[in-house]
Amino acid sequence: MRDAEELLTLRLRAAVSAAFGADGPVQDPQLRRATRPEFGHFQTNLPLRLAGPAGVPAARAAERLLTALHVEDVCLPPRVAGAGFVNLTLRPRFLAEQVDAVLHDEHLGVRRADPPRRVVVDFSSPNVAKQMHVGHLRSTVIGDCLARVLTSVGHDVVRQNHLGDWGTQFGMLIEHLLEEGHDGADLDLTALDALYRAARARFEADAAFAERARARVVALQGGDAGTTAVWRRLVGTSLAAFDEVYARLGVHLGAEDAAGESTYGPDLPGIVAELTGRGLLTESGGALCAFLPGFTTRDGAALPVIVRKADGGFGYAATDLAAIRHRVGRLRADVLVYVVDARQALHFQQVFALARAAGWLPERVQARHVAFGALLGEDGRPFRTRSGGTVPLASLLDAAEERAGALMAARGSRAGSPARSGTARAVGVGAVKYADLADGLGKDHVFALDRAVAMDGDTGPYLQYAHARLHRPG
Ligand code: ARG
């Protein structure tokens, strides 16, 4: 597809040579997006720049240019503005055709995925016994969006929710729960989250507790029935709470997509054995590490990937290696996509490199870390509650829905009507999702509720409003 900008640039160039002579200075239209909706879609200051060399006033240069410009099929009649600008507005029909072209491959050379590939998209991936926070919002929203787009162009997409459901922290939490008289079934995620923090603090402060917590890790890893039962309940409660958030966001991510870290537990000794067999591991301070060429700190020291920690536990990297082996070997992935925040960039570079060296990630399989920036509050600092805690995702959505309700009330919608609460929900959630997707991927993203939930500007509510109007008969 030739996009509108390229097409108009060609037409403007043709008009310049027709109206001002082919051997005059070639003028690049330098097409810009219009700064305001009333200026249409694009603008150029060509007349301003043509006027001097042609020895005519800018207004005259504009007239001459427009007489020679043929864009009827693409634009509404171009308009001269200010001291020598031309504003261009695309025709609705042209815009509709462009959208169609994206959806139907036979138009204008946009091809559907050819060949379709099997793409594993790892996204959302929150941690059990902790509230999903706004940081997980981006992964969930961006990942779901990518998975949908890839599916709609014809790829075979496998969604994977790499839940943080395994690790030494669960020993600590379970020990604390049991000592406080809980069996895990009696707690919701908010309570679990609070107990998790308490357990952490206790672990740091109380050496005897830390010892019992370590023993509990061994019990959990050894499959002790009582310990495992409590762990199962923690996971169950957490997944139910995550499901609620997914349903609220309209994100497709279900139980069949869940492949938490725990599912790779049995594979980890094998991972270490294979790496050892290939001579890729070095012992360093009791830990088993891989030192890969090209990975050094700023002062040149080698940066290891810790595969097995000194205490015998396996690190985050080991699990990701097992996941790669599974996704390529079992799920038959051609492409691996990880929608994870940018701070984990080094982790993924290292893990991909090590997996390639080990032969689990053959060259024909592409691995991509789709890194996104942080979600910041309006003060430009990491999103925090007033007391300094992380903001649960649900409360952000509550606030957006409330704000959407207020917006509708201001436009005369009656409070309490079912239509209004349904619409407020859709507008609030849509605003949050749109604000997240509209900004550049890699950048940190400042989230301002009032700006996101606004009827005008580049916002979700505006898009939904335009969409609703398009559907209105007559
Ligand atoms: N649970 C991790 C976190 O919250 C994200 C996991 C991302 N996926 C992966 N395969 N490492 O930071």
Question: How close is the Cα of 198 to the center of ligand 1, in Å?
Answer: 23
User: Beta strand 366-372 with 335-341: parallel, antiparallel or unpaired?
Assistant: parallel
- CB atoms inside a 10 Å sphere around CB 80: 17
Is residue 45 pLDDT above 70, yes or no? Answer: yes
Whose alpha carbon is nearest atom 5 of ligand 1?
Answer: 125
Q: Which residue has the tokens 């594993």?
A: 120
Q: For ligand 1, what atom is nearest to the CA of residue 341?
A: 12
Q: For ligand 1, what atom is nearest to the CA of residue 316?
A: 11
Show me where the domains of the chain are located: 4-93, 393-470
Q: Given 3.30.1360.70, 3.30.160.60, 3.40.50.1950, 2.40.50.140, which CATH number is that of 4-93?
A: 3.30.1360.70
pTM for this prediction = 0.81
Question: How close is the Cα of 371 to the center of ligand 1, in Å?
Answer: 12
pLDDT digits (tens, 9 = 90+) for 301-340: 999 999 999 988 898 999 999 999 999 999 999 999 999 9
Mean pLDDT of the 190-209 span: 95
pLDDT digits (tens, 9 = 90+) for 66-94: 999 999 999 999 999 888 899 999 999 99
Question: How close is the Cα of 156 to the center of ligand 1, in Å?
Answer: 22
Question: Residue 58 burial by CB count (10 A; 0-12/13-18/19+): exposed, middle or buried?
Answer: buried
* Candidate from 128, 344, 350, 372 with most ligand 1 atoms within 8 A of CB, to mutate: 344
Q: For ligand 1, what atom is nearest to the CA of residue 164?
A: 1
Percent of the chain residues topping a pLDDT of 90: 67
pLDDT digits (tens, 9 = 90+) for 439-450: 778 888 888 899
Question: How close is the Cα of 120 to the center of ligand 1, in Å?
Answer: 14
* Candidate from 140, 340, 352 with most ligand 1 atoms within 8 A of CB, to mutate: 340
Is residue 1 pLDDT above 60, yes or no? Answer: no
Q: Looking at residue 25, what is its pLDDT?
A: 63
Q: For ligand 1, what atom is nearest to the CA of residue 127?
A: 1
Question: How close is the Cα of 155 to the center of ligand 1, in Å?
Answer: 24
Q: How far apart are CA 350 and CA 306, in angstroms?
A: 10
* Candidate from 142, 162, 327 with most ligand 1 atoms within 8 A of CB, to mutate: 162
Residues contacting ligand 1 via CB (< 6 Å): 122, 125-127, 162, 164, 320, 323, 338, 340
Q: Looking at residue 428, what is its pLDDT?
A: 96
CB burial of 242-254 (b: ≥16 within 10 Å; e: otherwise) equals beebbebbebebe
Q: Spell out the residues 6+ positions from residue 296 whose beta carbon is closer than 8 angstroms to its own.
A: 302, 303
DSSP 415: T
pLDDT confidence bin for 26, thresholds 50/70/90: low
pLDDT confidence bin for 110, thresholds 50/70/90: very low
Question: How close is the Cα of 448 to the center of ligand 1, in Å?
Answer: 26
Q: Looking at residue 125, what is its pLDDT?
A: 97
Is residue 109 pLDDT above 60, yes or no? Answer: no
Is residue 107 pLDDT above 60, yes or no? Answer: no
Q: For ligand 1, what atom is nearest to the CA of residue 323?
A: 10
Question: How close is the Cα of 145 to the center of ligand 1, in Å?
Answer: 18
Tokens encoding 28: 């690049």
Q: Looking at residue 418, what is its pLDDT?
A: 76
Question: How close is the Cα of 126 to the center of ligand 1, in Å?
Answer: 7
Q: How far apart are CA 244 and CA 140, in angstroms?
A: 13
pLDDT digits (tens, 9 = 90+) for 266-281: 999 999 999 999 999 9
pLDDT confidence bin for 343, thresholds 50/70/90: very high
- CB atoms inside a 10 Å sphere around CB 25: 13
Pick the closest to residue 150 from 370, 378, 351 (CA basis). 370
- CB atoms inside a 10 Å sphere around CB 329: 10
Tokens encoding 234: 């923690």
Whose alpha carbon is nearest atom 4 of ligand 1?
Answer: 126
Sequence-separated contacts (24+) of 279-284 with Cβ below 8 Å: 280/354, 280/357, 280/358, 281/307
* 422, 429 contact by CB (below 8 A): no
Q: How far apart are CA 177 and CA 433, in angstroms?
A: 36
Mean pLDDT of the 254-258 span: 95
Mean pLDDT of the 380-405 span: 83
Is residue 386 pLDDT above 60, yes or no? Answer: yes
Question: How close is the Cα of 185 to the center of ligand 1, in Å?
Answer: 26
Q: How high is the mean pLDDT of the chain?
A: 90
